[in-house]
Every structure is written in C-alpha cells, then in structure tokens.
Amino acid sequence: MSVSSALYNTFFKRNSVFVGTVFAGAFAFGVGFDIGVTKFYDAWNKGKQWKDIRHKYVTEE
Amino acid sequence: MATFQAVKKAVALNPTVRTLPSGIPFAPLLNAAVRAPHDPHAHGESGPRSDVAPRWAGGPSLRSSGLVTKTYTSVSPSVNVQQRFISTSAVRKDAPDVPDFSHYRTNPESNRALSYFMVGSLGVISASAAKSSVSEFLQSMAASADVLALAKVEVDLSTIPEGKNVIIKWRGKPVFIRHRTQSEIEEARSSDWKTFRDPQSDEDRVKKPEWLVMLGVCTHLGCVPIGEAGDYGGWFCPCHGSHYDISGRARKGPAPLNLEVPQYEFSEVDEKLVIG
C-alpha cells in the first residue's frame, strides 16, 4: 500500500513527470531491448558469425 | 305604514325548514326514506338505491325528538374514495437520488498506482516502437555499406602537373581536378565576383589555391562541361553553351549556379586528395 502510494506520488501525480518518465523509460527500454536481442542473437548463432570464425582465416601480419 | 306591517304579518307563513345554530337544517317531519319517483332514466330498476347503506346499518329515523341519523356499524364506502390530484407529476427533489454504490466499489487507493503503471508501460512500449519505426525508416534511406565503401576516392596529386586537368569518377559522377597556375589563381581572385550570377569568392571554393576540385556536372541540365574552353578560360558546356571561369563559376549561358564543390580533404603526408 505504501509502495503503491509512494509510486503514485512520485511518478503519476503530475502529468509532466508521468510523460517524462514514459519517454525516459522508452529510451532506456529501447537501448536495453537492443542489447538484449543482440546478446541473444549472438548466443543463438554462436560459431556461425564472421566475428566468431575470423581467427581461422585471417592471420594478422 | 303600520297597516302595511299588519297586513304583511297576516300573510307571512312559518318557514317549513329552519336552520340550527350549528348550520344544519332542522326538518322534523322530513321523510328521508322516501323513494325517488319513477325515473325514466333508471332502466326499469326499482327498490332502494344500491349505493345506499342497508337499513340495519343505520340511517335516518324519525323519533319523538325529530329526525335522527344514527350509524350502528361502519360500512365500506359505497364509492371509490381514492384521492385524485390535479397533477400527476413526480415529486420534485433538490438533488438526484443516486443509489449508494460504495459497497460495490473497489478501493481506489490500491488500484490507482497499478492502473497508472499499466498505462505508463503501454506508453513506454508505444513510444519505443514509434521511435524504432522512424529510425529504421530513416536508416533504410541511408547509403548501404557497399556504396559507402566506394564513396571515397583517393587521387595522387603528385602525378598532376601544373596547368592540367584531371577527370576522375566519384559516385558515378565526374570530378574535375585542376592544378592551377599562379596566373590563373590571380585571375580567379581578381575578378569582381559580387556581380556574378551566383556570387561566390574563389577563397570559398578552394581549400588550397592551386587545387580546384569540383563536380563536373553542368548546373543547367547535367551535361559534362569541356575543360580549358569557353570565353573565360575555364569550362564550357557544349549542350546549351554555359561558360564557367577558372574558378568554376557560372559566367555566361543558361547555367544558374556555379559548379558544385564536393567534400574533399588533403592528406599532407603523401600528397593525396581524398574526395568524399
């Protein structure tokens, strides 16, 4: 109860704060979502991407 | 006068009915039980009226003291006595009579934060979806990696002698590079450029005065001008006769603008020009 009322008083009471929180949250969510999806993609395709097999073919001079 | 009064008294009769002090008429010999005479509108019915209380329930009777009405029992009213008012409109009230729904309501304090949180979460997801759509659409218009790999061109400037033109291909378009002589530089800088069609000083068009780099596309309709030709010693477009001077500025003919200068850089160490 106190958590929800604190949440309400902090974020939801003023519309400007609410909208600002929504946009900031959207930015953070977008960045986090990109990172998460990229990590999942790399883990799913482990050993198939060029960055994983590059050391087999490219020899540094 | 007196004779008239005596005559009047002799003629006047006693009243048959007098009024008691209470206002009730006093009629000692009135037969209240008399039956109504034959009524042609009664449709053949005879006897006492049906809406009159029966004899044993009471009623008027003649006593020695006079006519007395007495009731021994209470009888149901013979006629409908429901009250009828003139108006049947509803009773007016100060405030609408809303039922009390508080028993059915959930606690607004406990659900409010969750409701706003759900709304905000939907807003977060929608905003990030909208931002992603816009940015992905704009990225689809950007040049792809294979185009960007070919977007830069390196030119070795040490191979171009003074007073010579070089035409190279950059992003599908010709680029003129001229190694200008000192007299050409002075000629380009001394001209009164403020009166030109597209006023631009020579200092704005070159990074190093001896190297003039510009796109070889006529600003009129896109032909490729011919170098070292024209009335001003610069370029001449054979399609419609536009003349450009030694700084690539439009001087004569239909061309509306000077020849475009691309983005380029000099790399100092190995005398190279990088366009793009």
Alpha-helical regions (H) of chain B: 2-11, 108-141, 145-149, 182-190, 202-205
Residues A22-40 as b/e (b if ≥16 CB within 10 A, e otherwise) read: beebbeebbeeeeeeeeee
Enumerate the residues of chain B whose CB falls inside 8 A of the CB of residue A8: 112-113, 116
- What is the C-alpha separation between B153 and B89, in angstroms, rounded? 94
Most confident of the ranges A17-26, B109-118, B216-225: A17-26
Q: Taking CA atoms, what residue in B is nearest to A4? A: B113
Contact A1 B114 (CB under 8 A): no
- What is the C-alpha separation between B107 and B63, in angstroms, rounded? 80
User: pLDDT value at position A6?
Assistant: 86
Q: What are phi and psi of B165, to 5 degrees?
A: -100, 150
DSSP structure class, residue B38: P
- What is the C-alpha separation between B185 and B195, in angstroms, rounded? 19
Is A2-57 CATH 1.10.1760.20?
Answer: no
To probe the interface with B, which of A12, A16, A33, A34 has the most B CB atoms within 10 Å? A12
- List CB contacts of B151: < 8 A, sequence separation 6 or more: B143, B171, B276
- What is the C-alpha separation between B234 and B250, in angstroms, rounded? 10
Q: Is B63 on the interface with A (CB under 8 A)?
A: no
User: pLDDT value at position A43?
Assistant: 95
Enumerate the residues of chain A whose CB falls inside 8 A of the CB of residue B118: none
Contact call for residues B203 and B189 (beta carbons, < 8 A): yes
B240 is catalytic: yes
Residue boundaries of the structural domains of chain A: 2-57
Spell out the domains of chain B, with CATH numbers in brackets.
153-275 (2.102.10.10)
User: pLDDT value at position B78?
Assistant: 62
Query: pLDDT tens, A11-56?
Result: 888 999 999 999 999 999 999 999 999 999 999 999 999 888 988 8
H-helix or E-strand spanning residue A17 = helix A15-44
Enumerate the residues of chain B whose CB falls inside 8 A of the CB of residue A20: none
Structure confidence at residue B187 as a pLDDT band (50, 70, 90): confident
The one-letter code for the residue type at B119 is: V
Contact call for residues B174 and B225 (beta carbons, < 8 A): no
Query: pLDDT tens, B55-90?
Result: 787 777 888 887 888 777 775 666 666 666 666 666
Length of chain B: 276
Contact call for residues B43 and B37 (beta carbons, < 8 A): no
User: pLDDT value at position A38?
Assistant: 96
Contact call for residues B160 and B210 (beta carbons, < 8 A): no
Six token digits for residue B83: 């009250």
User: pLDDT value at position B123?
Assistant: 95
Partner residue opposite B124 with nearest CB, options A8, A12, A25 = A25
Contact B128 A1 (CB under 8 A): no
Contact A22 B123 (CB under 8 A): yes
pLDDT at B32 over 70: no
Distances (CA, A) of B193 to B184, B190, B196, B199: 15, 8, 5, 6
Region B82-102: mean pLDDT is 73
User: pLDDT value at position B149?
Assistant: 74
Partner residue opposite A8 with nearest CB, options B113, B128, B131 = B113
Contact A25 B116 (CB under 8 A): no
Contact call for residues A22 and B127 (beta carbons, < 8 A): yes
Partner residue opposite A26 with nearest CB, options B110, B117, B124 = B124
- What is the C-alpha separation between B32 and B66, in angstroms, rounded? 12
pLDDT at B94 over 90: no
User: pLDDT value at position B248?
Assistant: 83
Mean pLDDT of chain A: 90
CB atoms inside a 10 Å sphere around CB A18:
15
Enumerate the residues of chain B whose CB falls inside 8 A of the CB of residue A7: 113, 117
The one-letter code for the residue type at B121 is: S
Q: Which of A14, A36, A15 is nearest to B128 (CA)?
A: A36
For the whole model, what pTM was predicted?
0.42
pLDDT at B262 over 60: yes
Higher pLDDT, residue B32 or B190:
B190
User: pLDDT value at position B114?
Assistant: 86
